[in-house]
Structure 1
Amino acid sequence: MAKRTNIIIASVIGALVIGAGLGILIWWLVTDKAMTDDGGIDDIDGSGDGADIGDNEYDVTELSGDGLGDIPYTAAYTNIRGAGNMFWWFYPTTSPRRSTTPLIVWLDGVTGVPPSLLANFGMFGPYDINMNVRNESWVEQYSLLFIDSPLGTGYSTLEDGNISTNLDQMTNHLIYTLKSFYSLHKEYLYAPLYIFGQGHGAQQAVSLAAKLKDIDHLAHLPTGVVIGNGIISPALALTKLGFYLEELGYIDGNGRSAVENISNIINKAVNEERFGEAFDRLLSLGKFVNENAGAVAVNLGHIVEKLTQESLQDPYNQRQFMKKLFGIRSINIMDEVIRPALGIPNSIKFDGQNENALRAVRSTFMIPAVDKVEYLLQNTNVSVTIYNGNLDAVSNTPGQLEWVDNLRWHGQANFTSSLRQTLIINGLVEGYFRETPRLTFYWMNVAGQSVPLDNPVAMRRILRRIIDGN
């Protein structure tokens, strides 16, 4: 456990548009706290069957720096041999009975702002972006585990030439990370586990839950998977983009034809397994819509945000939105404040390898993960919850429903025939939902790519419904 001290910060968070450097010095943390996998989580239940996905492929190093505040935490690296170092940050709940309180794992993938920053300080961690104790942090009711995944995002680092290029590799790295977490915190092994995946993190979330269910002594862990504006079938969702933008008045009929043409090209490329080409076109989609569809300065991630005509963005521009939301300040919180507080070496630049990580997923990012959602629904008892911010044009809600309404599992007819209900909070309509015991879908108002950031009140209600049933 990192030692804790009070930190007084007069000015924080600068340049939240995180630079994606092309390479930094890769390192292996070796301290007297390093632990090998032997005798760890694989054998914690006495099964002795610890040969599931590569024993002795990793160890864990608990970090200790100057300390951060008075709220307990564990910050650590899972050192994956031949691949890199996965950073994770754990806050035990401040409520009583910690070991039985649900544990939330948060993943955000390569296209969003890493969880150690956005989810942690920007949305629902114990401290806000100014390092003040947050009112109504999720840690008051649940334990939180933020993982900067895949390797190369956030504080997680890559080894040269060993970049994760497919979802199975990323999932194995997450399995190692969870095992190392439980080796340090065995008391949480039987706490209900909810895996949240936002954006690209949704692919990892459903894959991780499915993988855990196939490992005998870990199969009890996942209780629920939660998909937020998830990149599950991105090309299919884009087929509704032209309709979405025209209905909102951002483009006219000619613009819709142009958008539908590029969407069909992307979808055709995916169907023909030309995933790299589809990914390249996806990343240029924001520029295309603004330059070729008559929708100048439209933020596809948060459609009502007004931009300047000179603004140029990719379709997953959370960094720009965070920059506008939190402002430009004089220091970079992650490199100047958090890094020394946690004891991370100065050679590690936060999100400095993001461009490498993004390049690595070029050939796999657009592969649909619908089959993994169907596997969870058809073959496990894991609940699946999907919520989508209605102001997100890329993962637009009509497009998301294209794959949700066509899922193949035994409860699908019950789901599609169930009545859509209204989510009312304090007299305000915050969204709508369709609910069955195994699958729930939320239409979320006043929210774009990140519902917890844009509509935290509604997100807290969803959280209680998912985990607490009320």
Structure 2
Amino acid sequence: MSKKFIIIISVIVGLLILAGLGVLIWWLVTDTSNDKFETILLETDGLGQVKYNAAYTRIYGAGDIFWWFFPSTSDQSRPILLFLGGVTGIPDSFLLNFGGIGPLDFNLNTRNTSLVSDYHLLFVDSLLGTGFSQLEDEQSILTNLSDMVDNLIYTLQSFYGHNDEYEDAPLYIYAQGDASHLAIPLTTRLLEDEDYSHKIKGIFLGNPIISPALTLTKLGFYLEELAYVDGNGRAAIEEFSTSLSSLVSSKNFEEAFNQFFSLGEFINERAGAVAVNVGYIVEKLTRNSVRDYFGLSAYRDRVIPSDINMKSFMEETIAPALGISNDNNYDEKRDDVIKAFRPLYMEPTVDKLENILNNSNVIVTIFNGNLDAVSNTPGQLEWIDHLNWYGQTNFTNSERKTLVINKQIEGYFRESSRLNFYWINIAGQSTLLDNPVATKKMLERVTHIAPTPTEAVCKHFNELRSDLALALDLKNALASCEFELQALRHQYEALNPGKTLTIPPSICNTSTDGETKPVSEIIDVVGSPSALNNTI
């Protein structure tokens, strides 16, 4: 082999090595995700009867955000519902998951009414220190909303990185109460990211904290109309609201926060209500009832079995099943997170919601339980009816319709192409727990999903088809009888000149097309064959 040939081969090999090093360096420089976070997958068979995957998104320098994904039992193209945990309250990964819409109940038995039959469910303990999400250290509690949203973006990158088969599934964000503080800026960030702008289709905001001071301007009226306070109590509440609005206007948000969180005590002790749960107004309390932020503990008492303790259940039953370490104390830093959120909580976010409406195609659906005094519906409408966006006139002029399910009035709704508002009856701060029938119907209408063809749905459909066929047969038989009656009348009048045979209206169908009952009076306007105990 000639020396010249060896030199040529050596040069080629050297160039290939340099090219490989160049590609490696480029990958290391451009792969920005790996220097921000990593994904720590958890056990996937600890709760064997349901399909799921769960993980921690470990964000360097911050902590671990927990997410738990339940793919739909239907098909892969179903929408993803992203449930964001809020600032106050009980984590969705516990209460909403096991107490309402997840695939398992508190006894770890399969729930037949779970939303997983129609949607992919993604629960995220959004804030470090809440739920199973852990802080790296005590100094890692965030006070900057932008950093909190960054963490959620990393979490979604982590989720899709291990669930890429759901890349094309429509994404809807579901936020109850003060989770709206995270849902709105997260939606904005997703719209700005070309990797996610096509995924995000809608945002559901339930009893949202968007303009809390303005909402409270109607609280005195609301409570007086329900006879919980008298005129003096209403005047005291309105003075409280005016003071709160003044603090917000002067951007003294921390003091406004402190006053806002004393609302329940003020109403009961100084406005004369004595024992009102402002989160679920019809609940009967005693003077000595234990109360927390806005009466949220009431859901713990009403939804969770008496033998279930949140921390014990999540730490001793769920954590081992998922392979989570024993040193993870569930929801341990909630009070610290609330304290850190004080400067942000009372700041209005109406303008950010208007930005989404004006600059995207995302569908915004706001819904309110009519038994929530904190986010009382008349107060919420004070800012909803005055939103500044190009479709507002169309929204306010659209018809307010009745939400009828199984012949029961479950609420009302006003819909436009981009903005919807739902009045949910007999519901407080968590409509999915208080009135799941109405809330599920709202989700179905907005996401445009068809009911899953389960055995129950097929049974209802076949019964409806049989009833319609019978109704058609009866209509045809009635028409034949009417024809024979008319023929007999003509025969009688021909045989008896000058006499007229009158057919009694009770045996003759005298209705005209204009008198035909509308379908809405015969079949539920928005009734679902998949709803339990459905009748038509």
TM range (shorter): 0.7 to 0.9
Long gaps (5+) in structure 1: 1-38
1:243 alignment partner in structure 2: 221
Q: Provide the secondary structure at the position in 2 that maps to 1:344.
A: coil
Relative to structure 1, is the Cα distance of residues 94 and 113 closer, same or farther in structure 2, using a 3 angstrom cutoff? same
**Secondary structure, in 3 states, of the residue corresponding to 1:364?**
helix
1:336 aligns with 2:319: no
Match of 2:397 in 1: 417
Q: What is the distance in 1 between the residues matched to 2:34 and 2:132?
A: 24
The equivalent residue for 1:114 is 91
Q: Partners of 2:362 and 2:405 in 1: how far apart?
A: 27
1:282 alignment partner in structure 2: 260
Q: 2:243 aligns with which of 261, 265, 273?
A: 265
For residues 50 and 253 of structure 1, the distance between their equivalents in structure 2, rounded to whole angstroms, comes to: 64
Counterpart of 1:129 (choices 74, 99, 106) is 106
> Which of 416, 422, 426 is the matching residue for 1:442?
422
CA distance in 2, matches of 1:293, 1:392: 17
Paired letter, 1:438: R
Alpha-carbon offset, residue 49 of structure 1: 7.8
For the pair 1:193 / 2:155, whether they are aligned, the reply is no
Contact kept? 1:108, 1:202, Cα under 8 Å:
no
> 1:265, CA displacement in angstroms?
1.3
Taking the aligned partners of 2:189 and 2:125, their CA distance within structure 1 comes to 19
Identity score, percent: 51
Task: Measure, in 2, the Cα distance between the counterparts of 1:128 and 1:327.
Answer: 10
Aligned residue identity for 1:244: Y
Tell me which of 426, 432, 440 is aligned to 1:460: 440
Distance 2:209 2:276 in 1: 20
Letter in 1 for 2:187: A
Matched, 1:222 2:200: yes
Is 2:129 the counterpart of 1:152? Answer: yes
TM-score (norm 1): 0.86
Q: Is the 8 A contact 2:212 2:346 kept in 1?
A: yes
Give the letter for the 2:370 counterpart. N
- Letter of the 1:308 partner, please give it: T
> 2:146 matched to 1:168?
yes
Size of the alignment, in residue pairs? 421
* In structure 2, distance between residues paired with 1:279 and 1:449: 19
| Structure having the larger proportion of residues in helix | 2
- Matched to 2:432, the amino acid is P
Contact 2:50 2:103 in 1 (8 A): yes
SS in 1 for 2:183: helix
Letter in 1 for 2:438: A
Q: Helix, strand or coil: the match of 1:161?
A: helix
- How big is the shift at 1:352? 0.7
Is 1:370 the counterpart of 2:350 in the alignment? yes
Name the structure 1 match of 2:371: 391
Q: Which has the larger radius of gyration?
A: 2
Which SS does the other structure have where 2:343 is aligned? coil
> Per the alignment, in what secondary structure is the counterpart of residue 195 of structure 2?
helix
Amino acid at match of 2:243: I
Q: Deviations over 1:149-203 (max 9, x none)?
A: 1111111112321212132221111101000000111111111000011111122
Quote the residue 1:87 is aligned against: 66
Q: Distance in 2 between matches of 1:199 and 1:69?
A: 33
Q: What SS is found at the alignment partner of 1:316?
A: helix
What CA deviation, in whole Å up to 9, does each residue of 1:373-424 have, x standing for no partner?
1111100010000110000000110111111111111000111111211100
The AA in structure 2 aligned to 1:177 is: T
Per-residue CA deviation, residues 80-107 of structure 1 (Å, 9 max, x unaligned), is 11111100000011113x1x21111001
Q: Which moved more, 1:390-399 or 1:331-340?
A: 331-340
- Mapped to 1, the partners of 2:439 and 2:354 lie a distance apart of 25
Contact 1:207 1:372 in 2 (8 A): yes
| Contact 1:108/1:199 (8 A) holds in 2 | no
| Cα distance in structure 1, aligned partners of 2:134 and 2:270 | 38
- Partner amino acid, structure 2, of 1:246: E
Ranked by relative contact order (alpha carbons within 8 Å, sequence separation 6 or more), the top structure is 1
1:322 to 1:284, Cα distance in 2 relative to 1, 3 A:
same
The residue aligned with 1:105 is 82
Does the alignment pair 1:350 with 2:351? no
1:469/1:88 Cα in 2 relative to 1: closer, same or farther (>3 Å)?
closer
Q: Aligned residue for 2:50? A: 71
Q: Is 2:115 aligned against 1:138?
A: yes
Partner of 2:275: 297
Task: Kindly report structure 1 stretches of 4+ aligned residues shifted beyond 6 Å.
Answer: none
Partner of 2:289: 311
Letter in 2 for 1:119: L
How many Å apart are 1:434 and its aligned residue? Answer: 0.8
Give a deviation string over 1:101-155, Cα, whole Å, max 9, x none: 1111001311121111112111100011222211121101110000011111111
Q: Distance in 1 between matches of 2:122 and 2:187?
A: 15
Whole-Å separation in 2 of the counterparts to 1:189 and 1:394: 38
Distance 2:359 2:441 in 1: 28
What is the alpha-carbon distance in structure 1 between the residues aligned to residue 57 and residue 331 of structure 2?
17
Shifted more, 107-116 versus 293-302: the winner is 107-116
What is the match of residue 8 of structure 2?
A: none
Distance, in Å, in 1 between the alignment partners of 2:356 and 2:31 is: 24
Post-superposition shift, 1:69?
Answer: 3.3
Query: Greater CA deviation, 293-302 or 112-121?
Result: 112-121
> CA offsets, 1:219-242, max 9 Å, x none?
112100000111111111111111
Write the letter of the residue equivalent to 2:102.
Answer: G
Deviation at 1:339, TM superposition (A): 1.1
Amino acid at match of 2:149: T
